[in-house]
Structure 1
Amino acid sequence: MQPLRGILYKVMSVALFMGMASLVKAASADVPPGQAVFFRSFFALPIIFGWLALRGELRNGWKTKNPMGHFWRGLIGTSAMGLGFTALGLLPLPEVTAIGYAAPIFVVIFAAMFLGEKVRAFRLSAVGLGMIGVLIVLSPRLSLGGTLDVSQTLGAVVALMGAIFAALAHVFVRKMVATETTAAIVFWFTVTSSVLALFTLPWGWLMPDMSVAVMLISAGLLGGVGQICLTSSYRYADASLVAPFDYTSMILALTIGYLIFDEVPTGTMLIGAMIVMIAGVLIIWRERRLGLQRAQQRKATGHSGN
């Protein structure tokens, strides 16, 4: 393990994904979300192929024992991406980022529901705290008092649905890693999302001008490199160590939102985001402790059999 290298790769992946999101947001007024999903996925494929070639896995890395699992993971993950891209066109970048932090909270819930993981009082409390934070972030968009901006209310709902679908996709991946390689999961998701995005053609794809096309192609390239950096971070460090660095995306979102999109965050959004981040870090910390305990139990069991 090389933890500092793993952290570096994680921070790089966060920066690349935030750059990708910014480009998609900038192009959102000119192309529909489904078209943006296609560009993001299709133009990541050359990066993925190059990565497989460098790893010596171009011939076998894409092979799978669970094709239907990849399809369902791809369908859910593509839905999460499409919802996230839709929200980017309706809400400020920091707000979409903050709502996206709800995904790890829903992962705990779905892991208990679908994977049979035991969730005790500590993680339940963290989930409850995170949900309070999410409600605070959403409250200005869903308030019954005053005048609501319908498009931004829709954006808040869509962003939350995106976080839910992202959590479901993560649970699928947790289940698939038992039989599938990381390379296969990355490759087939990129292929599946490219194909599924084509089904949105009847909903008004447009011929982008040169500047918009460059932004969309760049989003795909950044997304592909970001995926590789993310995968590499887990090779050099434990997931529980690098996971908290996801929250550096808020610093980037606030900076990019203010400097490029002229978006000024509200105090309510910042307070809610901080609560969600605290809950997420608590969940990550508890997951790390449980992982260490399980490792010690396996080691003790192995020794007892000698």
Structure 2
Amino acid sequence: MNIHRTTSPAIAFAVAAAGVGLFSLMDAAMKDLSIALGAYNAVLWRNLTGSLIAGALFLGTGQGWPSTGNLRLHLWRSFIVAGMAVSFFWAIARLPLAEAIGLSFIAPVIALYLAAILLGEKIGREAILASVAGLGGVAIILYGKFSGHCSQDALWGAIAVLFSAVLFAYNLILARQQAQAAGPIEIAFFQNLLTASVLALAAPWFLAPFVVAKAPMLVTAASLAIVSLLLLSWAYARAEAQVLIPVEYTAFVWAIAFGWLFFDEPVTATTLIGTALIVGGSLIAARVKPSAVNHVEIASA
């Protein structure tokens, strides 16, 4: 029996929504860790912890060793993920979760242009419309943020989110290639292990003493990332991307809730309006190239 065909789209959607919720909770945990440890140390320790958890799954399920080609792909993507994750979590330590998540939704629109540059795909009218909507949304969020008094940290935080979004857009393309070549447990293990190895190269300059009191939060963040990845991989194996893409944007609702609950962060009208435009642009992008906007949490876990 082919379970991929017998699974209800509604069940796949619900599982994907749970995955997004858990990933958003991980973002909140990483915000706490980034404030306490610094973004570099938070990401390094989370990936080391994730390596142990995913490594146990990798060995326990009898996964075979990946091919040389897969290892090269895992390693290259780990370089991109390292820069993307550190810049994003550095940013959310300085910005409200909702603003950072809203700005990050521009990544699928950027992915259209990267696909044109890297894969030779044509940029059509719909892609241009997606760009206008997305950039308009970014402009509105930034205007709302910086039209009044704001700190220099907030400005650099917004720049870091947009930089992370560019890396993430390229990561979307790599994630699609990776998902076609390897299973989710292999991806989770080698991405955690190799990303930690890449980050360890900078340890002589940035590594700080670990705060033992943050160990439970670290284990929580690593576990949430892995469970989210497995849930989303399960859902995307059983339903078309076009059915599940809208669930990605529930991350903004979770960001509002967790930002308010854990960090007492308000949400402004400009953030809501700007995010709505960015989401609209991303949905147009999904219609143009569904494979280029495969699930963001799968791509970044």
**Structures share a fold, TM > 0.5?**
yes
Q: Residue 42 of structure 1: CA displacement? A: 2.1
Q: CA 1:41–1:289 in structure 2 vs 1: closer, same or farther (change >3 Å)?
A: closer
Shift of 1:113: 0.9
Q: Do the aligned partners of 1:65 and 1:180 also contact (CA within 8 Å) in 2? A: no
Q: Contact 1:35/1:200 (CA < 8 Å) preserved in 2?
A: no
Instruction: Establish whether residue 58 from structure 1 lines up as the match of residue 63 from structure 2.
Output: yes
Report the CA distance between 1:78 and its aligned residue.
Answer: 1.5
Task: Spell out the pairing of 1:36-75 with structure 2 (5 A cutoff).
Answer: 36-52=42-58, 56-60=61-65, 62-75=66-79
Q: Deviations over 1:164-215 (max 9, x none)?
A: 11111111233445655555433322211121222342214132142x2211
Distance 1:274 1:159, change over 3 A: same
Tell me the equivalent position of 1:173. 175
In the other structure, the counterpart of 1:255 is 257
Deviation at 1:109? 1.2
Secondary structure (helix, strand or coil) at the match of 2:259 reads helix
1:190 is aligned to 2:192: yes
Q: Does 1:89 align with 2:111?
A: no
Give the TM-score, by structure 1 length: 0.85
Measured in 2, the distance between the counterparts of 1:222 and 1:177 equals 20
Kindly provide the CA deviation profile for residues 238-258 of structure 1, in whole angstroms up to 9, marking residues without a partner as x: 122111101111111111111
Q: Secondary structure at the match of 2:251?
A: helix
The match for 1:134 among 124, 134, 138 is: 138
Moved more, 217-226 or 114-123: 114-123
For 1:65 and 1:29, the matched residues in 2 are separated by 37
CA contact 1:63–1:184 (8 Å) conserved in 2: no
Specify whether residues 179 and 214 from structure 1 end up closer, same or farther in structure 2 by C-alpha distance, changes over 3 A only. closer
2:237 aligns with 235
Q: Which amino acid aligns with 1:154?
A: W
Give percent identity, aligned residues only: 25
What are the equivalent positions in structure 2 for 1:74-223 lying under 5 Å apart? 74-141=78-145, 147-177=149-179, 179-201=181-203, 202-210=205-213, 212-223=214-225
Aligned-residue CA RMSD in angstroms?
2.3
Q: Any idea what SS the aligned residue of 2:69 has?
A: coil
Structure 1: gaps (5+ residues): 291-306
| Structure showing the higher helix proportion among its residues | 2
Partners in 1 of 2:236 and 2:79 — Cα distance? 24
Whole-angstrom CA distance in 2 between matches of 1:207 and 1:162: 25
Task: Give, in whole Å, the separation in 1 of the partners of 2:14 and 2:51.
Answer: 23
Q: For 1:175 and 1:162, how far apart are their aligned partners in 2?
A: 20
Normalised to the residue count of structure 2, the TM-score between the two structures is 0.86
Matched, 1:9 2:15: yes
Partner amino acid, structure 2, of 1:203: F
Q: Say whether residues 1:19 and 2:28 are aligned partners.
A: no
Q: Deviations over 1:47-68 (max 9, x none)?
A: 43454467x55234x4442433
CA distance in 1, matches of 2:234, 2:57: 11
Question: 1: CA distance between counterparts of 2:118 and 2:236?
Answer: 24
